[in-house]
Amino acid sequence: DQQVKQNSPSLSVQEGRISILNCDYTNSMFDYFLWYKKYPAEGPTFLISISSIKDKNEDGRFTVFLNKSAKHLSLHIVPSQPGDSAVYFCAARGILTGGGNKLTFGTGTQLKVEL
Amino acid sequence: DVKVTQSSRYLVKRTGEKVFLECVQDMDHENMFWYRQDPGLGLRLIYFSYDVKMKEKGDIPEGYSVSREKKERFSLILESASTNQTSMYLCASSLAGLVGETQYFGPGTRLLVL
Instruction: Say if residues B49 and B32 touch (Cβ distance below 8 Å).
Output: yes
Give, in order, the Cα–Cα distances in Å from A61 to each of A17, A79, A110, B4, B113.
11, 7, 18, 27, 41
**Percent of chain B whose predicted confidence (pLDDT) is above 90:** 75
pLDDT tens track for B24-79: 999 999 889 999 999 889 999 999 998 898 899 998 999 999 999 999 999 999 99
Q: Is A32 helix (H, G, I), strand (E, B) or coil?
A: strand
Interatomic CA distance for residues A25 and A48, integer angstroms: 17
pLDDT, average across residues B101-106: 86
Optimal mutation site among A97, A101, A102, A104, interface B, most CBs of chain B within 10 A: A101
Residues of B in contact with A46 (CB under 8 A): 102-104
Residues of A in Cβ contact (< 8 Å) with B4: 43
Q: What residues in A contact B40, CB-CB < 8 Å?
A: 9, 107
**Contact by Cβ (8 Å): B23, B74:** yes
Confidence of residue A96 (pLDDT cuts 50, 70, 90): low
pLDDT digits (tens, 9 = 90+) for A36-81: 999 988 999 999 999 999 999 999 999 999 999 999 999 999 999 9
Is residue A95 over pLDDT 70? Answer: no
Q: Is the per-residue pLDDT at A29 higher than 90?
A: no
Please, is B114 exposed, middle or buried when counting C-beta atoms within 10 Å of its C-beta (0-12, 13-18, 19+)? exposed
Q: What pLDDT sits at residue A79?
A: 97
Q: Cβ contact (<8 Å) for A44 and B40?
A: no
How does pLDDT run across B7-30, given as a tens digit for each residue? 999 999 999 999 999 999 999 998
